[in-house]
Amino acid sequence: MDTSLDELVAEFDPGLPLERARSLPSPWYVDPRVALLERERVFGASWQLVARADQLERPGDFVTTEVAGEPLLVLRDDAGELRAFFNVCRHRAACVMTEPQGNARRLRCRYHGWTYDLRGQLRGLPEFEGVEEFRREEQGLVPVHVDRWGPMVFVHLGEAPPPLGEWLAPLPVEMGTLEGLRFLERREYTLACNWKVFVDNYLDGGYHVNTVHPALGSVLQYSEYRTECFERTSLQSSPLRAGDDAAAAATRKGDRARYAWAFPNVMINLYAGVMDTNVVLPLGTERCRVLIDFYFADLESERAQELARQSVELGHRIQLEDLGVCEDVQKGLGSRSYRTGRFSVRREVAIHHFHRLVAARLQARRG
């Protein structure tokens, strides 16, 4: 018997306190109708991390990307302003810019050669004389909200989104401007699981650290690990200790490890002088892509570069450990034996918070 989408979406009860709560029903992790609704309600209506500030330093620097299936263009204009647009030509809807990134003085659509300036205004349109009721000034690229926090550039497809600073609160206060950090490299992973499995795994309050990540666990003071939830973000943190894993001890330093999450799919891991950002993007229902960008405060000396390499390798190792469990979980979520699970009150408050935020979007009246 088929469950309707409305019934399925209503199955999660967001009103239950953590002590009595149940996780999102398993079909939310496998049903394409839910994925479609999430595209519109979650990814199409949230600040999405799409580029790094160092890709957009000079006038004319641009990045192309996609959010919620929409082709987008982010750039720095002549006046030094960040701007973002739908990367959709007003003529016949081709993508205006097709390179993943680059530098351009003008935005020239490769299809019929219409050109736009860096503010998105239409400038050149060959052989268009005689077209009636056509106002060039109304045919600019359609703008999208854009803003940044430190090295991270975000866009929001909505009409009047809350400001990015408000969205991310209190992370910029808790974690600082992140200005001194420099990008070193990106690693990409494709996982055979729904994007929410990856987020759930991230938000379990350290519950899986000792079982899945022994090296990382050796430098965390697990009993002091704590989780705080805010409006659209959560922050997990743990004091660090001298551990017996050499790579972890050398690269996971400072007074505390900070693991920040911003709804729906941005995760930021911060240690002293070491940061990586994780963005998880759905690829259909049972696959996702994880983009991990590694940043370091010091990349000058050979010693610093060697430490940075070690740090990336440790990050990679941890990611492979997570990947294994995430893919197992996805299999289990497809099993007829499982529908929903309970939460550790001590550890899993941030997963419950995430589930409520997703449910709030999906359960809002459809119309």
Residues of this chain that bind ligand FES (CB under 6 A) = 89, 91-92, 94, 109, 111-114
Work out what residue 322 binds among Fe ion, ligand FES, none; the CB cut-off runs from 5 to 8 Å by kind.
Fe ion
Residue nearest to Fe ion (CB): 322
32: number of Cβ within 10 Å: 10
The minimum distance between CB 93 and ligand FES, in angstroms, equals 6
The residue (of 128 and 222) whose beta carbon lies closer to ligand FES is 128
The minimum distance between CB 122 and ligand FES, in angstroms, equals 10
Q: Is the preceding peptide bond at 170 cis, omega within 30 degrees of 0?
A: yes
Task: Show the site string, 263-302: x = touches Fe ion by CB under 5 A, - = not.
Answer: ----------------------------------------
Token duo for residue 312: 């990336």
The residue (of 115 and 305) whose beta carbon lies closer to ligand FES is 115
Residue 228, CA distances (Å) to 13, 52, 206 in order: 22, 27, 13
C-alpha 337/C-alpha 326 separation (Å) is 18
The minimum distance between CB 41 and ligand FES, in angstroms, equals 30
With contact defined as beta carbons under 8 Å apart, do 155 and 48 qualify? yes
The minimum distance between CB 200 and Fe ion, in angstroms, equals 11
DSSP string, 213-238: -HHHHTTB-GGG-EEEE-SSEEEEEE
| Amino acid at position 318, single letter | I
The minimum distance between CB 94 and ligand FES, in angstroms, equals 4
Token duo for residue 100: 């993943």
The minimum distance between CB 113 and ligand FES, in angstroms, equals 6
Residue pointed to by tokens 């499982």: 338
Pairing of strands 182-191, 107-108: unpaired
Work out what residue 111 binds among Fe ion, ligand FES, none; the CB cut-off runs from 5 to 8 Å by kind.
ligand FES
The residue (of 96 and 216) whose beta carbon lies closer to ligand FES is 96
Q: Which residues contact 286 (CB under 8 A, 6 or more apart)?
A: 29, 30, 192, 193, 194, 330, 334
Residue 353, CA distances (Å) to 131, 227, 243 in order: 54, 11, 31
Binding residues for Fe ion restricted to 315-334, rule: CB under 5 A? 322
Work out what residue 89 binds among ligand FES, Fe ion, none; the CB cut-off runs from 5 to 8 Å by kind.
ligand FES
Work out what residue 5 binds among ligand FES, Fe ion, none; the CB cut-off runs from 5 to 8 Å by kind.
none
The minimum distance between CB 320 and Fe ion, in angstroms, equals 10
Task: Show the site string, 128-167: x = touches Fe ion by CB under 5 A, - = not.
Answer: ----------------------------------------
The residue (of 93 and 345) whose beta carbon lies closer to ligand FES is 93
The minimum distance between CB 44 and ligand FES, in angstroms, equals 23
The residue (of 75 and 323) whose beta carbon lies closer to Fe ion is 323
The minimum distance between CB 202 and Fe ion, in angstroms, equals 7
Work out what residue 82 binds among ligand FES, Fe ion, none; the CB cut-off runs from 5 to 8 Å by kind.
none
The residue (of 97 and 350) whose beta carbon lies closer to Fe ion is 350
User: What are the backbone angles phi and psi of residue 203, rounded to the nearest 5°?
Assistant: -100, 20
Strand segments (E) across the chain: 48-52, 61-67, 70-76, 82-86, 101-103, 107-108, 115-116, 122-124, 143-149, 152-156, 182-191, 226-229, 233-239, 256-262, 266-271, 274-282, 288-296
Work out what residue 106 binds among Fe ion, ligand FES, none; the CB cut-off runs from 5 to 8 Å by kind.
none
With contact defined as beta carbons under 8 Å apart, do 64 and 71 qualify? yes
Work out what residue 94 binds among ligand FES, Fe ion, none; the CB cut-off runs from 5 to 8 Å by kind.
ligand FES
Which residues are at the interface with Fe ion (CB under 5 A)? Answer: 322
